[in-house]
Amino acid sequence: DTPSELPLTDQNSNAQNLRFQLNQEFIIHRIPEGLLIIDQQAAHERILYDRFLNRKEDDKGGSQQDLFPQTLNFSSSDFNLLKELEPDIRALGFEIREFGGNSFVLHGTPGGVEKGREKEILEQVLEQYKNYHSVFSTGIRESLAKSMARSLSIKKGKLLTDSEMRSLTEDLLLCEKPSSGLDGKPCMSLLKTEDLRERFK
């Protein structure tokens, strides 16, 4: 079985014992085959990347509309880059309009962007885009989706509730490449019970 095909339920055990968080970094699921170990940050990056990449340009449902649009001022270099990337930034869920004088008016943001952090997140996305786009020969949308995923993902050290752990795992297993993180490293691994038995022989 590949990790994406493994069941997340065990009929013979208490639901509270099915999963736990290790060092606020890994999610451990106890399943019949053994232990499914998930890197919470890498997994969430994969989930968000797929979500942003597959989002349709005209999908307004992916944006949280602001009742009171706000004006965001940028450095001239970031303003010019944002102007160049505007169609793709809008496709990710940022409802922005050029305002002039190195400013944009923000009408809506992608889900997951905290109120008050809109400009910070946009600047992070632009900064990471500069790094990614020069290192990887991917398209603009792919680079921006990676940058967004990195900026908005759950970080190592964040305490998760049981429902958050389950939700993250289920969303990961629905991804096209659930085993692979954005950097190509694995974001989950299966430690089989039979392999454990071998270690203690």
How do residues 14-27 score in pLDDT, each as one tens digit? 544 589 999 999 99
Q: Flag whether pLDDT at 188 surpasses 80.
A: yes
Q: How many CB atoms lie within 10 A of CB 143?
A: 23
Q: Flag whether pLDDT at 115 surpasses 90.
A: no
What's the rounded mean pLDDT across residues 31-43?
95
Q: Flag whether pLDDT at 38 surpasses 80.
A: yes
More confident of the two residues 191 and 66 = 191
pLDDT reported for residue 57: 54
What's the rounded mean pLDDT across residues 30-48?
95
SS3 sequence of the chain: CCHHHCCCCCCCCCHHHCEEEECCCEEEEEECCEEEEEEHHHHHHHHHHHHHHCCCCCCHHHEEEEEEEEEEECCHHHHHHHHHHHHHHHHCCCEEEEEECCEEEEEEEECCCCCCCHHHHHHHHHHHHHHHHHHCCCCHHHHHHHHHHHHHCCCCCCCCCHHHHHHHHHHHHCCCCCCECCCCCECEEEEEHHHHHHHCC
pLDDT reported for residue 3: 56
pLDDT reported for residue 10: 44
Mean pLDDT over the full length of the chain = 86
pLDDT reported for residue 97: 93
Q: Take residue 52 and report the two structure tokens written for it.
A: 């942003």
Q: How many CB atoms lie within 10 A of CB 124?
A: 16
Looking at the chain, the whole-number percentage of residues with pLDDT higher than 90 is 63
CA-nearest of 177, 169, 155 to 49 is: 177
d(CA 153, CA 40): 9
CA-nearest of 158, 98, 92, 100 to 122 is: 92
pTM of the model: 0.82
d(CA 142, CA 191): 32
pLDDT reported for residue 135: 57
Looking at the chain, the whole-number percentage of residues with pLDDT higher than 70 is 84
68-82, 125-139, 168-182: segment of lowest average pLDDT:
125-139
Structural contact between residues 131 and 144, judged by C-beta atoms closer than 8 angstroms: no
